[in-house]
Amino acid sequence: MPGRQLDDTVARRRDAALAGHTGDENTARSFLSDDDANVRATALGALNRLGALTEDELIRATADADPIMRRRACTESTSWNGSVGEPITPDAAAAIAALLSDSDDSVVEIAAWACGERPPATSATIERLCEIATRHDDALCRESAVAALGALGDPAGLAAILAATEDKATVRRRAVIALAPFDGPEVDAALERATNDRDWQVRQAAEDLSP
């Protein structure tokens, strides 16, 4: 019965989560092969909480058939084997960066965010983030990519950030904030323009960054 199946799925997800809080690594790992993506994703988080998530398991999660699992892999990568702001291993970073070309926009958005959380990034990753920031059809993906470029602070990303200051309001706001690590006449000019933006949040962000 559908109701019973739902109850079983909720119970398995609860058990996977509980394992991450009680130190039960074996139980958490057993749920990585569950039929339900939400259960698998919860198990991935549980193992990471325990410090028991292996690199192979994280990388396999980035190739999962379900976007729920691929998104969770991106999220967990930001605190796996270190913490936000610390470099990630090259193989794990490459697996996350590969999701910048995922077929699911929600995965691309989270992958972009994750790339900005564990600098540095390769030149290929920066290039792909620039493409997303300036050309992606989904505004959330563009916004996330712009934020990542600002977090990474690589000069190769500046042109894309400057271009994003002409995008829709939500992206413009993010782009203005992303200019914080940069300086130069083109940055000053962009901030000056933004102080007269029709969106008050864009104006406020620009005023906060202006000298």
Read off the DSSP letter of residue 82: S
Q: Where are the alpha helices (DSSP H) in the chain?
A: 2-22, 25-30, 37-49, 55-62, 67-77, 90-98, 105-117, 123-135, 139-152, 158-164, 169-178, 185-194, 200-209
DSSP-derived 3-state class of residue 64: coil
Same domain, 31 and 79: no
Q: Mean pLDDT over residues 122-150, rounded?
A: 98
Between CA 79 and CA 84, with CA 83 as vertex, the angle to 5 degrees is: 90
Same domain, 137 and 202: yes
pLDDT value of position 68 = 98
pLDDT band at residue 120 using 50, 70 and 90 as cut-offs: very high
Q: Are 165 and 194 in contact (CB under 8 A)?
A: yes
Q: What is the pTM of this model?
A: 0.94
pLDDT value of position 4 = 58
pLDDT band at residue 185 using 50, 70 and 90 as cut-offs: very high
Same domain, 112 and 135: no
**Per-residue model confidence as pLDDT tens digits over 6-44:** 589 999 999 999 999 999 999 999 999 999 999 999 999
CATH number at residue 62: 1.25.10
Q: Mean pLDDT over residues 82-92, rounded?
A: 91
Full domain range(s) for residue 132: 122-211
pLDDT band at residue 85 using 50, 70 and 90 as cut-offs: confident
Same domain, 191 and 144: yes
pLDDT value of position 2 = 53
